[in-house]
Each structure stands twice: as C-alpha cells, then as structure tokens.
Amino acid sequence: MFGYVRPRCDKLTQAELDAYQAAYCGLCRTLGKQYGFPTRFLVNYDMTFLWMLQASLRKTEQTTRCRCPARVCGSMQCFRDSEGYENAAACTVILCWEKLRDDVRDESFFRGLPSRLLSHVFRRAYRKAARRLPDFAALTANQLEALRKLETENCASIDAVSDAFARIVSGCATESSDPAVRRPMEELLYQTGRFLYLADALDDLKKDCQRKRYNPLRFRFSPEDGKLAQEDLDYLTQLTDSSVNLAGSALALLPLRSFGSLMENVIYLGLPSVFEAVKAGKFQSRARIRFSSGRERKAGGRHARREK
C-alpha cells in the first residue's frame, strides 16, 4: 500500500525534480544509517512526501553528496536534515513492518512466507523505530487491529475502513506542537491516507476478487470480473476528488517556507493522475520516477524504470 503519493513529474521544473530526488535519497540514506542497509529497500514516495511536507515548514535545507549503493561509482545529492529524516525513517519502518505482518495474516502459509521472512529481517529495526516513536507505533497497531476487525465482518462501509487507515497516516504528523500547524497537517495527512486506501482498494480489486479476499469495494458494489460498473467508478472518483480537495484546503493553511509548489503538484496533479492510471489499469506501484532525464520525466508507471 505504498507508492501512490507522488508528484506529476512532467509538470515539475528541473530544480523541483532535483529537490525531490535529494529528498528521496536523503530518506534512503537515513534508513540505512539508522536501521541497517536492508531497510534502504523500504524507501518509498509516500514517506518522501511526508518528509518534504514537514520540511516545507522550515527554511530550505542544505544538500550534500552521499554515496549511493545503487550506483557503484557514483554519488547523489541529498538533504541534511537529521531530525526530520529520523522521524520520517521511523514512520517508514513502523508502517512497512506492520504491513508485512498484515500480509502474513491475510495470506496462506506459502503465499505469506516471503512476508514472514522479511518481517523477521526487519524486526530489530521495527523495535528501534517503535522506541523512537512509541505513540505512533501504538496508534498504528491499534488502528490496524480495528481495521482487521472490520475486515472480518466484511464491512461494506467505505468510510469506516478508509477512516481506520487514514488515522494512521494522520498520526505521522509527529513534529509540530503548534495547534495552528498540527491540525491542518493532520487533516492533510488524513485525507492523503484516505485517498491512498481507496486507490489501493481499486488497484487490488481484481486480484482480491480472484482470491476471494476482503476488499471494501467487493461488498459495497457488485464488481464483475474484478471491475466496477461505470456508475460505481464515478462515485469512487467523487470520493477521491473530495479527499484531494480537502487535502489542498489543509495545505493552504500551512505556513510553507519551502517546497510549496512541489507540494501543490503532489496534491493537485500527482494524486489525480495516479488515480486515473489506477482506473485505467495502468498504474505500477513500484515504478520509479526518472530523475535523470528532463524530457522523459513520468510517474505512475508509464515510461518508467523499477524503483530501487
């Protein structure tokens, strides 16, 4: 359930794309430094957005060169924001580990074996991250338990299940104690989390129907061959558009000092384009954003290489 919150790169300037790359690489570097090399593979666009959103409330960070393990003889620019990156990295580890444990519960023994092995690999990293953000770790565990209860009841309420997940994402607003900043930050992340859950549900619908796994869209609508009727798809689009608009309203209330246009790109252009790709069946959650070519910058899986 990661990879949906990303910018529309063909609408970014080269400077903005370079800043996004530096943010992505900085999170990857911090994951490896704080939690060990394997956790570098947990880096994702959603948590990059989280760091940039929180960093946008401060002055623009300085960049430095850092060695990139994906480039044998090269290095990359990355931002030097230790405190902000450490919080984003802790959230990344906690969410990814809980996602692995959730996959173990949902799948059969053999299908869940890869997730079971990976959860053991990242267990120590999770415990360290949970010590750094104990409240967020507890919130994540509690909300996922509430979500599992709704799933066992085959809950048909889209609002109920998306709310349970969105509250987890809202809990990532760990940095500010100022209510004037924290409240719109929480609302923005809540609506982003709601969008993320609905996009993922639609993306997985066909597979969930084939395997007879829980998906709120299976019980709220009547999909045929894993596809929704156009009327149902239009209704779901209205729900995601509402979340995008509310997230944009919350963003407008934040006193952004940097990355403002990039954040607006993610909310107003990136999210809608991702959902259109999901509806068309063309979205690839692991597709990598092309940082190197200005003419071929694409997101959402088209003309893209695999994310590291």
For residues 272 and 244, the answer to whether their CB atoms sit within 8 Å is: yes
Spatial distance between the Cα atoms of 130 and 138, rounded to a whole number of angstroms: 8
Give the pLDDT mean for 112-132. Answer: 93
Q: Please provide the average confidence, as pLDDT, over all residues in the chain.
A: 88
Higher pLDDT, 1 or 155: 155
Spatial distance between the Cα atoms of 285 and 169, rounded to a whole number of angstroms: 18
| Element (DSSP H or E) covering residue 24 | helix 14-35
Q: Which segment of 162-171, 262-271, 287-296 scores lowest on mean pLDDT?
A: 287-296
For residues 68 and 76, the answer to whether their CB atoms sit within 8 Å is: yes
Domain extent listing, the chain: 9-306
Instruction: Output the DSSP codes for 49-99.
Output: HHHHHHHTTSPPPPEEEEE-TTSTT-EEEEE--HHHHHHHHHHHHHHHHHH
- Enter the CATH code of domain 9-306: 1.10.600.10
Whole-structure pTM over 0.85, yes or no? yes
- The tens digit of pLDDT for each residue in 67-79 reads 888 776 678 889 8
Q: How far is CA 139 from the centre of its chain?
A: 17
Spatial distance between the Cα atoms of 273 and 266, rounded to a whole number of angstroms: 10
Q: Inform me whether the pLDDT recorded for 44 exceeds 90.
A: yes
Give the pLDDT mean for 118-129. Answer: 95
Spatial distance between the Cα atoms of 216 and 160, rounded to a whole number of angstroms: 10
* Lookup: tokens for 97: 């580990």
Q: pLDDT band at residue 163, thresholds of 50, 70 and 90?
A: very high
Give the pLDDT mean for 208-233. Answer: 93
Higher pLDDT, 114 or 247: 247
Give the pLDDT mean for 28-38. Answer: 94
- The tens digit of pLDDT for each residue in 192-219 reads 999 999 999 999 999 999 989 999 999 9
Q: How do the residues of the chain divide into helix, strand and coil, expressed in percent and rounded to 5?
A: 65, 5, 30
User: Amino acid letter at 261?
Assistant: S
How many CA atoms lie less than 13 Å away from 50 in the CB half-sphere? Answer: 32
> What is each CA distance from 158 to 124, 132, 234, 262, 279, in whole angstroms?
34, 32, 14, 30, 17
Q: What is the DSSP letter of 227?
A: B
